[in-house]
Homo-oligomer: A and B are copies of this chain.
Amino acid sequence: MGKRNCNNGPVSSIDSGSVGVVETHSVRLFDDGLTTRSGTVLPVVEVAYETYGTLNEARSNAIYICHALTGDAHAAGFHEGDDRPGWWENMIGPGKPIDTNQWFVVSSNILGGCQGTTGPSSMNPETGEPYGLDFPLLDMRDFVAVHRGLAAELGIERFAAVVGGSLGGMQVLQWAMDHPRDMGRALIFAASSRLTAQNIAFSAVGRQAIMRDSGFNEGKFLSRGTAPRKGLSVARMLAHITYLSEEAFQEKFGRNAQQGELSGNFGIDFAVESYLEYQGERFLSRFDALSYLYLTRVLDYFDPFAATDALDLLKADPVRFLLVSFTSDWRFSTEHSRRIVRHLEGARIPTSFREIESRWGHDSFLLDLPDYHATVRAYLDRAAEEIA
């Protein structure tokens, strides 16, 4: 255990597989600001991050976690007083697939987010007001630039592995392609290198629900005391449909009534309606509509294999890749992962690929599925042997 993440704290219900009580830290990066890919300079970039486990003397046992669309830095353990652990508690901890007895894990909130890292709701130092839509449009490479800035701050030159699912996996791919010397292995789960028209369509409708909400106020809602709460919750409900498989929806809810028998009304009558309502409401307390716009748009434009020289750096300094997809994921189906595999194998980059049987859809990458966890564990065991 690292000093900051002592497992002997007052939370008595934490099992031995947890990193225990943790804190989110904050650091300001880039003394001269960050020039984003759009050319706009962000004078202030603060990053929220957590670490779990202990960095060894050789500084060779670090793993970096990139989170998905609505994740945050709090991937594992418990914040003081919280009942719920971080979002990847089943993956990260002592004895877990990403074993903190072995690895020093870094997890940060991405640029453009709303959980402690600079984003469109942060104060624009030039105006003293929140950026709103004056925040620059972001690119996957901007996320990577900030991850690298944090790594430098922590004194880590090379990660044994960089790991992420969905949008997190896309960050891993971009990072590995542009800076292959930064990592030994890249673990990419349920991700894509190129959204389909249908993927973009779902994103676009979610954004329209937000931007058309009368509370959106052209993105100046924070200064004006309004909020596109209805639009954001609709966007979240819609997104949730794509996170689960049709089969999972059927198994969890079927045509069950929320209470007793179906009564016939326009309210919450079916259990599935109650689930969506709950997901939409809960999201409001932890997420910002502007971040939702900015982060989803990065996915739409992501297309890293488009350039003919896209893989030149990786060819010179190969990273080992593990790609994982899930059979019932219809947001980023196995075909998306296969496409990445084809590009990498075409460039003779060492690539392992596993399609995991799961009926839970896209969210499978967040679940404790034995085949999936065993795959990750075995892959990282090999990495551990290399640095031992």
Interface residue? A211 (CB, 8 A): yes
Identify the stretch in A83-91, A167-175, A190-198, A380-388 within 8 Å (CB) of chain B at 4 or more residues.
A190-198
Interface residue? A238 (CB, 8 A): yes
- A204 engages B273 (CB within 8 Å): yes
Beyond A137-B264, A200-B270, A266-B211, is A255–B205 a contact (Cβ under 8 Å)? Answer: no
Q: Contact residues of A with B, CB < 8 Å? A: 38, 133, 137, 194-198, 200-202, 204-205, 207-209, 211-214, 230-231, 233-234, 237-238, 240-241, 244, 246, 249-250, 252-255, 262, 264-266, 270-273, 276-277, 280, 293, 297, 300-301, 303
Q: List 25 A-B contacts (CB under 8 A).
A: A137-B265, A196-B249, A197-B252, A197-B254, A197-B270, A197-B271, A197-B272, A198-B246, A200-B273, A201-B249, A201-B272, A201-B276, A204-B270, A205-B234, A205-B237, A208-B233, A208-B276, A209-B209, A212-B230, A212-B234, A234-B234, A238-B238, A255-B303, A262-B301, A266-B293
Closest to A275 in B: B201
Closest to A209 in B: B234
Q: In the complex, what residues of B have CB within 8 A of residue A208's CB? A: 233-234, 237, 276-277, 280
Beyond A195-B255, A255-B200, A272-B204, is A297–B266 a contact (Cβ under 8 Å)? Answer: yes
Q: In the complex, what residues of B have CB within 8 A of residue A253's CB? A: 197
C-alpha spacing A202/B244, complex, angstroms: 13
**Binding site secondary structure of chain A:** helix
Q: In the complex, what residues of B have CB within 8 A of residue A211's CB? A: 266
Q: Besides the contacts A198-B246, A198-B249, what 15 more A-B pairs have beta carbons closer than 8 Å?
A: A137-B265, A196-B250, A197-B250, A197-B253, A197-B270, A197-B271, A198-B250, A204-B273, A205-B234, A205-B237, A205-B241, A207-B266, A212-B230, A238-B238, A255-B303
Q: In the complex, what residues of B have CB within 8 A of residue A212's CB? A: 230-231, 233-234
A182 to chain B, nearest CB (A): 26
A233 to chain B, nearest CB (A): 8
C-alpha spacing A276/B234, complex, angstroms: 17
C-alpha spacing A201/B252, complex, angstroms: 13
Most buried by B among A201, A246, A301, A303: A201
Q: In the complex, what residues of B have CB within 8 A of residue A270's CB? A: 197, 200, 204, 300
Contact partner, A213, options B38, B133, B230, B254, Cβ 8 Å = B230
Closest 9 CB pairs of A and B: A212-B230, A197-B249, A197-B253, A197-B272, A198-B246, A198-B249, A214-B214, A204-B273, A205-B237
A243 to chain B, nearest CB (A): 11
Closest to A253 in B: B197
Closest to A229 in B: B212
Most buried by B among A38, A270, A293: A270
